Structure 1
Amino acid sequence: MQIHLVRDADYPEEEHYEVLDFLTAFDGPVWFTGNASPRPLDEDAVHEEEFEEREFFSMVNFSRKLSEHCLEAPSFPVQRRVSTWKELFRSAAAYRRKQRVPPTDLVLLLTPVANELNWFCALDPANPNNGFIHTDEWEHYVHCSGTFPVVYHVVALALQRALFGSIEALQDGLHRVPLGCVNDFCRHKPEVILKLRTADVCLDCMDDLRGRLDAPVLEQLLNILEGVRTRMLFNQNFRQGRKPSALRITAAGRIFLPDYGNIEIRLTPLEKTLYLFFLQHPEGLHLHDLVDHRAELLALYGRFATSGMLAEIHNRVESLVNVRSNSASEKIARIKAAFVKAVGRDLAAWYFIRGEVSDVKKIHLEPALRTIDGGSQM
């Protein structure tokens, strides 16, 4: 199965990449790809609209959710751009034709433009292999990055495509009373919090899915949902008392925390070079001793550098090992910031490079938890 995530021109490229990075961190038979060039919506099918409070939320439920999750209520009336379902599905279909996407692949348009029925996402009744996801306004529902609910709905639409063959079957199969299942309808939009936090599939829906999806496909999609749940908990500060996760390094040098929802730690090539160097030296060392390991650092950086002439690569490593340069200290600070952002300050302390100014710098995660692809320890 392949799922194409088509970025509307109004959807920020960085957020698009974050969604793709999250999805591709989970191994399995489902492939996720993104479009190289954005496709703008037809402006004739998009209009400005004001949404009043009574239309936007069920405020009885929303007030309760607001107090539970410390969200900020929107200022009404809400100004936003709105498109027709017909135009959103037409955009996905046009991409399918232009790129000659196989008929069974799923094409999903990711757009911050709202839709006339105010849905989070939907599949095209005329062709359920096309669909859209509304990427905006998540700050009104969840206290975390909008990447997570977008990823959630990518998986939800993939599961619903397998479960429901028509719009009539979808309408009959959706849960009008929320259960914490991907098929909750969420007529009152704040109810989406429940299914995002449970990231679950109810027993009845699971029984139906087992007969409609191959086991490896279903396992991968469920693993992604669990990853969403875990990442949202970390972002909402529900992470006290957790033990350190294993640290997995792929052959390409991507860094994951598999026990924390497969969170990926994104570093620049030079930051990655320094980090992997310290992983390979669990005893630690002083920064002024980096110069003695110039060749090892150069070999690592050669694996990860995606651009630059050979002389430029050498110069960057020379700056890293130069005791009169602040390059190594800057990289260590940025590595720390990446881990703190991902898992919070307490858990991050297991992973980043630390030590007093005049002392040995090291990573305190025990070597048994450091692995590379294939199961070997670093």
Structure 2
Amino acid sequence: MKIHLLRSPELDAELFENVFEIVDKYSSPMKFLMHDSPSAFLDKEIIKEDFEKSQFRKKNSLSNTMFPETAFSMYLSLNEWRPEYPEKIEKVNWEAIFERCNTFRLQQDLSTFDRVFLLTDYSNDKNWFSAWDPKRSENAFVHAAQWEYFVPSDPRFPIAYEVMVVALQSIMFNTYAEAKLYFHKKPRGCVNDFCKDKNDIALKLRTADICPNCQTLLLERAVDPLMSRQIFQTLDDIRANMLFRERIKTTMQPSRLQISGKDKKIFFSDLAGTELKLGPLEKIVYLLFLEHPEGLHFTELSDHKERLTQLYKETGFARTVPELHNSISQLIDPTENSLSEKISRIKRKIVSVLGPDLAGYYIIDGERDGKKKILLDRRLLLNED
């Protein structure tokens, strides 16, 4: 089954890519694909309202006269923890959201087996976090903004959680009328908790689990066990990431960093094995700085030309000998900007993967004319050949 994730134009592209990286980690049997939405929301489709706390707390009911009983939602709610409320809120109605999904379906000539999920920053007229299309259950949306009012977390994780839960429920249930029979009004820490308030949502995210009754339902519905496994592996990873980031505030210890295999892949062991994907020259620069906890001056890199060349060969990247020597020579030449560019790219990728709070332990940084170093305690560095 293919799940097409559409980025609404107002949604930050980097956040969208970060969510995709999470949900597509185990890319079988469900395959996730990234796309931009066919069109932006028109000004006439955007509803601008003054913020009203009482309305923000509520999920508007879905009447049978407005829609058939074929939608699924996550309830928006609040507790006492929250940042400052906005003065204005911009919303779009469900019809406008699902029109984008259907336009994409027509353009791509998709089958009914394909799912299309639109991720948008705009709130919606029903005030739900996510929902199925009442007229076509293969379409859905996830509201990607305002998570800061519900959980103190990097937003990529609750957004990715919503994507996976909508995917699971789309293969568990056919209609909203059917699905609501299995909603848990009293929270159990199950993916099918109804979530009437923020604390319930926080519980769902912390457990990322499914209750025994719903497990039985999965078996009764003959849901593909490989799909179920993929979904719950991803939910487990989301949970692990969120809990580790929460606990680091008290443990003050960052994740272990694992260098694995002949190609020296780099993983954050305590963040569900999240991989740091670097280009060839970026990787050898990073590995060299890991080998020197005392730090290095840029002008010292010429002393490490042989080691950089060896690291390049060890990582298994294909390049001719002249190309390799030319790249290394540019890298270590203090009159070139190659090294600074690589370090800047490494920093951007680390911040993208970890967020700014955790990134400081792993980036290559230092005084302008001084040594650059990686702060990570090398006792947290694991080398596995």
Task: Pick the TM interval, shorter chain.
Answer: 0.7 to 0.9
Greater CA drift, 41-50 or 89-98: 41-50
Corresponding residue of 1:178: 187
Task: Give the TM-score taking structure 2 as reference length.
Answer: 0.75
Give 1:91 deviation, angstroms. 1.2
Greater CA drift, 313-322 or 91-100: 313-322
Query: Which residue, 266, 279, 285 being the options, matches 1:274?
Result: 285
Greater CA drift, 27-36 or 266-275: 266-275
Cα deviation digits, residues 222-267 of structure 1 (max 9, x gap): 1111111121123334472879657265898763335422323254
Paired with 2:306 and 2:344, the residues of 1 have a C-alpha distance of: 22
Corresponding residue of 2:140: 131
Paired with 2:18 and 2:372, the residues of 1 have a C-alpha distance of: 36
Q: Is the 8 A contact 1:247 1:369 kept in 2?
A: yes
Q: Is the 8 A contact 2:20 2:32 kept in 1?
A: yes
Paired with 2:375 and 2:88, the residues of 1 have a C-alpha distance of: 51
Paired with 2:342 and 2:260, the residues of 1 have a C-alpha distance of: 19
Give 1:208 deviation, angstroms. 1.4
- Where in structure 2 are there 5+ consecutive unaligned residues? 59-76
Paired with 1:266 and 1:194, the residues of 2 have a C-alpha distance of: 32
Identity rate of aligned residues, in percent? 31
Paired with 1:152 and 1:242, the residues of 2 have a C-alpha distance of: 25
Change (3 A) 1:360 1:118: closer
Change (3 A) 1:20 1:74: same
Note if 1:110 corresponds to 2:119: yes
Q: Is the 8 A contact 2:263 2:315 kept in 1?
A: no
Change (3 A) 1:108 1:354: closer
Paired with 2:382 and 2:94, the residues of 1 have a C-alpha distance of: 48
Corresponding residue of 2:71: none
Residues 213-292 of structure 1 mapped to structure 2, 5 A cutoff = 213-238=223-248, 240=251, 245=256, 247=258, 255-267=266-278, 269-276=280-287, 287-292=301-306
Query: Which residue, 208, 232, 239 being the options, matches 2:217?
Result: 208
Corresponding residue of 2:61: none
Partner of 2:174, secondary structure, is: coil
Q: Is the 8 A contact 1:10 1:111 kept in 2?
A: yes
Partner of 2:139, secondary structure, is: strand
Paired with 2:41 and 2:83, the residues of 1 have a C-alpha distance of: 30
Note if 1:198 corresponds to 2:207: yes
Partner of 1:169, secondary structure, is: helix
Paired with 1:339 and 1:13, the residues of 2 have a C-alpha distance of: 16
Change (3 A) 1:196 1:232: same
Cα deviation digits, residues 316-343 of structure 1 (max 9, x gap): 5324334787965886697589668739
Cα deviation digits, residues 112-167 of structure 1 (max 9, x gap): 11111100001112221110000111111122221111100010001111221101
Task: Give the TM-score taking structure 1 as reference length.
Answer: 0.76
Note if 1:46 corresponds to 2:60: no
Paired with 2:241 and 2:281, the residues of 1 have a C-alpha distance of: 26
Give 1:72 deviation, angstroms. 1.5
Residues 78-93 of structure 1 mapped to structure 2, 5 A cutoff = 78-93=87-102
Corresponding residue of 2:56: 56
Change (3 A) 1:163 1:346: closer
Paired with 1:226 and 1:361, the residues of 2 have a C-alpha distance of: 29
Give 1:195 deviation, angstroms. 1.0
Change (3 A) 1:361 1:146: closer
Partner of 1:197, secondary structure, is: helix
Q: How many residues align?
A: 357
Greater CA drift, 249-258 or 199-208: 249-258
Q: Is the 8 A contact 2:5 2:33 kept in 1?
A: yes
Partner of 2:186, secondary structure, is: coil
Letter in 2 for 1:57: R
Corresponding residue of 2:24: 24
Corresponding residue of 2:10: 10
Cα deviation digits, residues 28-74 of structure 1 (max 9, x gap): 3221111156532344333212231111127xx8444x1xxxx4241
Give 1:268 deviation, angstroms. 5.2
Corresponding residue of 1:321: 332
